[in-house]
Amino acid sequence: MATLIDKPLEVCKDHYLLKIDIGISLSHPGQFANIKIGKNDPLLRRPFSIFDHKENIIEIIFKVVGKGTEILKNICKAGYLDVIAPLGQGFSITENKNTLLIGGGVGNAPLYYLAKQLKAKNNIVNYLYAARSKDYIFFEDKYRLISNTFYLATDDGSGGRKGTACDISGELAGGSGYDIVYTCGPAIMMAGIVRIFQNPDTRIEVSLENYFGCGIGLCSGCAVETNAGIKRACVDGPAFDGRVIDWGSLLQ
């Protein structure tokens, strides 16, 4: 049984933080929580990545995009919340490597928890935080603090450099020597990142945020084509080797 610790806290335009006691102290960066919002409408649970996890409390950042997230935003008090977590396969955690984390929009959420664990394992954490505009940047200070090098970019140039995640990645890719690149954001952005980092010595891990049905491997609603056949993003992922994904089919 999970308990919402406090009502949702607005962290930037249209984005809210939830703190939920799930009664479990272990999870892996890139795993997600499946939240039942409302009784019958929406019918399906909604998946959200774990932004942070301390003791039994997970934190989630969600962006309001539709019915479920609108209801979630309007929860006005702490109390019982129907949550299944942690679920799925998260990112791999390397040691003593030079890493680059690239987040687009709310896709930055799982990368904060990842950055913390990578730092604890003596990796160099280079972070590229990309957003539409400065209004959509949450917890910039936290990301700066956890990073050895921090790059900020917005599409309209209102915060940090002007440019998209792919624009800046193009510059960072040249002669970078990153051992591993982790990314989460819109599929089109992640497909672009995979194209940009072509050096086969640089591993690329992506976290997919395609549509989920059950979230526990039963419905195939999250099926994704890979070079090893069809995978279910909810149980085989959401974190995958970016080079195995058939991006063409995902972007259709």
Ligand X SMILES: Cc1cc2nc3c(=O)[nH]c(=O)nc-3n(C[C@H](O)[C@H](O)[C@H](O)COP(=O)(O)OP(=O)(O)OC[C@H]3O[C@@H](n4cnc5c(N)ncnc54)[C@H](O)[C@@H]3O)c2cc1C
Nearer to ligand X, 2 or 173 (CB): 2
Phi, psi of 185 (to 5 degrees): 165, -165
Under the criterion CB under 6 A, does residue 209 sit at the interface with ligand X? yes
Give the footprint of ligand X on residues 148-187 (CB under 6 A).
none
Under the criterion CB under 6 A, does residue 87 sit at the interface with ligand FES? no
Query: Which of the stretches 7-15, 51-59, 207-215, 237-245 binds ligand FES when contact is defined by CB under 6 A?
Result: 207-215
Distance, in Å, from the CA atom of 138 to the CA atom of 16, rounded to the nearest integer, reads 9
Under the criterion CB under 6 A, does residue 249 sit at the interface with ligand FES? no
The owner of tokens 């996890």 is: 53
- Among 3, 7, 21, 42, the residue binding ligand X under the rule CB under 6 A is 42
Q: Residue 68 binds what, of ligand FES, ligand X, none (CB under 5 to 8 Å, by partner type)? A: ligand X
Alpha-carbon distance values, 215 to 85, 112, 179 (Å): 10, 22, 31
Nearer to ligand FES, 170 or 217 (CB): 217
Nearer to ligand X, 84 or 124 (CB): 84
Nearer to ligand FES, 37 or 130 (CB): 37
Nearer to ligand FES, 72 or 234 (CB): 234
Nearer to ligand X, 88 or 163 (CB): 88
Q: Residue 221 binds what, of ligand FES, ligand X, none (CB under 5 to 8 Å, by partner type)? A: ligand FES
Query: Which of the stretches 2-10, 58-66, 121-129, 144-152 binds ligand X when contact is defined by CB under 6 A?
Result: 58-66
Under the criterion CB under 6 A, does residue 189 sit at the interface with ligand X? no
Distance, in Å, from the CA atom of 97 to the CA atom of 77, rounded to the nearest integer, reads 43
Distance, in Å, from the CA atom of 152 to the CA atom of 79, rounded to the nearest integer, reads 36
Distance, in Å, from the CA atom of 198 to the CA atom of 195, rounded to the nearest integer, reads 6
- Among 2, 20, 61, 130, the residue binding ligand X under the rule CB under 6 A is 61
Contacting positions for ligand FES (CB under 6 A) = 212-215, 217-222, 232, 234
